[in-house]
Amino acid sequence: MLSQVDTFNALAISRLAHELQAQGRSVIHMEFGQPSTGAPRAAIARAHQVLDSDPGGYWESTALKARLARHYLDNYGVKVEPEQFILTCGASPALTLTLTATFCAGDRIALARPGYVAYRNTLRALHLKPVEIPCGPESRYQLTAAGLAALDPAPHGVIVASPANPTGTIIVPAELEAIARVCRERNITLISDEIYHGLSYVGPARSMLEFEPNARIVNSFSKYFSMVGWRLGWLLVPKEHVPRARAIMSNLFLTAPSLSQHAALVAMDCHEELDQYVATYARNRKLLLEALPQLGLNNIAPPDGAFYIYADIAHLTDDSLSFCQSLLRDTGVATAPGVDFDPVEGHHFMRMSFAVSTAEVEDAIARMTPWFAARART
């Protein structure tokens, strides 16, 4: 039986944006959650060295896995072994890997709604059943222990994201601990997507590994490390699950790109440069939070981390896809429709990424202000 995988509408928005650019239009790309910056300079220099001296091949860097283990000890106070890391071709394969290694077809996996569109679609592609928990402003659009405990029967697994996409909300430590406790009591396997760690404006995000040592952790070099196109991520699993996860990785994906591994090892020590990027995102966030009420966007998720604004546009539309398409055609500002992240309530939400330059954010605000004002009058 074929699985039902929905369209990722932000891709359609991006295609339209590039068509407009090809016609000579000026477009500000706020539709995707990707840094507009490149990899750290030292990482790029290392890649040039490797290209001149190494033909490349199937390879997994023991030095990078050891550096990742030190990262967890330094940042979270959690001791893990380097061999618990499986280097992947980005976070998406890491998620696919852990779902394939852990669950059987038909298993039920809980997740928050709104949430990252690929969670739902990856589960369906693997013939797993997404169990979406509606999360509104009362829980800051985040999964809660109470919501997970209320599911009957208990799901086989749960995907937690903090900071989250599309909202940027962070789950406070006490709630993370409560979620971990519910999972232990109900025998629910915990998967924590921590791809936006390092991008926080309210203090450091906590790893689920601090509260549940058996959690599966998904992460990537794409966001904080600004290495989107290098396609490198990792999956961190309990020791006893390493052989199965490694067997599946080697058969489905072979290894992560060798060049990216060399560069990432250097990138992990480029915090001064990378933190400057985060400072830019913080400025962009502040500008948008000050400007959005003037556009009539007063109901938004609190963007604690990541680089997103998730805004309620119910007073303007119940068709977020058409709304975002019109905004793009009229102003050149590309955003993502909320229906990608919430097929039920997302028809009256939109998401904009502020992982662009501050000048682009200022330009986007200037373009959107009269457009929103005109829509409010109709």
Verify that 261 and 361 share a domain, yes or no.
no
Verify that 100 and 204 share a domain, yes or no.
yes
Q: What is the pLDDT of residue 304?
A: 95
Q: What is the pLDDT of residue 22?
A: 96
Q: What is the pLDDT of residue 195?
A: 97
For the segment 342-352, the average pLDDT, to the nearest whole number, is 96
For the segment 337-358, the average pLDDT, to the nearest whole number, is 96
Sheet with 85-88, edge to edge strand ranges: 85-88, 233-236, 216-220, 189-193, 157-161, 108-113, 129-134
pLDDT at 56 over 90: no
Verify that 108 and 137 share a domain, yes or no.
yes
> Does residue 3 sit in helix, strand or coil?
coil
Per-residue pLDDT band for 377 (boundaries 50, 70, 90) equals: low
Q: What is the residue-averaged pLDDT of the chain?
A: 95
Given 241, 267, 293, the domain boundary residue is 267
> Does residue 205 sit in helix, strand or coil?
coil
In-domain check, residue 74: yes
Q: Give the strand pairing for 333-334 and 216-220.
A: unpaired
Q: How far apart are the C-alpha atoms of 268 and 262, rounded to whole Å? A: 11
What is the tally of structural domains in the chain? 2
Q: What is the pLDDT of residue 347?
A: 96
Q: What is the pLDDT of residue 6?
A: 73
Verify that 283 and 357 share a domain, yes or no.
yes
Q: Give the strand pairing for 233-236 and 216-220.
A: antiparallel
Given 248, 267, 286, the domain boundary residue is 267
In-domain check, residue 2: no
Residue that the structure tokens 């203090």 belong to:
203
pLDDT digits (tens, 9 = 90+) for 106-156: 999 999 999 999 999 999 999 999 999 999 999 999 999 999 999 999 999
Verify that 237 and 360 share a domain, yes or no.
no
In-domain check, residue 52: no
pLDDT at 376 over 90: no
User: How far is the CA of 288 from the CAs of 210, 365, 372, in angstroms?
Assistant: 33, 8, 14
Verify that 63 and 182 share a domain, yes or no.
yes
User: How far is the CA of 335 from the CAs of 92, 255, 306, in angstroms?
Assistant: 22, 34, 16
Verify that 288 and 204 share a domain, yes or no.
no
Task: Give me the domain span that covers residue 18.
Answer: 9-39+271-371
Given 267, 289, 319, the domain boundary residue is 267
Structure token pair of residue 47: 């890649």
Instruction: Give every CB contact of residue 159 below 8 A, 6+ residues apart in sequence.
Output: 95, 109, 110, 111, 115, 119, 191, 192, 193
Q: What is the pLDDT of residue 1?
A: 58
Q: What is the CA radius of gyration of the chain?
A: 21
Q: What is the pLDDT of residue 55?
A: 85
For the segment 261-278, the average pLDDT, to the nearest whole number, is 97
pLDDT at 333 over 90: yes
Per-residue pLDDT band for 2 (boundaries 50, 70, 90) equals: low
For the segment 300-317, the average pLDDT, to the nearest whole number, is 94
Which helix (H) or strand (E) segment is 92 a member of?
helix 91-102
Verify that 99 and 247 share a domain, yes or no.
yes
